[in-house]
Amino acid sequence: MLPTPLSRRIARWSPSALLAALVALLGALATVLLALPTVTADAAPPQTTASVVRPVTADGTPAEGWTVERLGVKVDCDGSAMPAVDGGIAACFPTAVGLRACWASGPHHALCLQDAGTEQKLVRVRVHGAFPTATKPAVPEPLALHLADGQDCLLRIGGAWGAPKDHPNWIGHYSCTDGAVYAPAKSITGIDQRGPVWKVKVWDGKKTITKVRVVSASFVGTAETAPQ
- Residue 221 CA to residue 50 CA, distance in Å, equals 13
pLDDT at 20: 65
Using an 8 Å Cβ cutoff, are 114 and 102 in contact? no
Residue 171's SS3 state is strand
pLDDT in tens, 175-205: 999 999 999 999 999 999 999 999 999 999 9
Taking every pair of Cα atoms in the chain, the longest distance, rounded to a whole number of angstroms, is: 116
Confidence of residue 118 (pLDDT cuts 50, 70, 90): confident
Cis ω for the linkage preceding 132 (within 30 of 0)? no
Pick from 181, 155, 185: which is nearest to 170 by CA? Answer: 185
Using an 8 Å Cβ cutoff, are 56 and 121 in contact? no
Confidence of residue 39 (pLDDT cuts 50, 70, 90): very low
pLDDT in tens, 15-35: 666 566 655 665 665 565 556
pLDDT at 44 over 70: no
- Residue 108 CA to residue 99 CA, distance in Å, equals 16
How are beta strands 121-127 and 67-80 bridged, if at all? parallel
pLDDT in tens, 54-71: 999 999 999 999 999 999
- Residue 32 CA to residue 28 CA, distance in Å, equals 6
Using an 8 Å Cβ cutoff, are 171 and 182 in contact? yes
- Residue 105 CA to residue 123 CA, distance in Å, equals 11
Pick from 92, 218, 111, 104: which is nearest to 157 by CA? Answer: 92
Which residues are within 8 A (CB) of 127 and not within 5 positions of it... i.e. 6 or more apart?
Answer: 74, 75, 76, 77, 92, 104, 108, 109, 110
**Which residue would you say has higher pLDDT here, 69 or 6?**
69
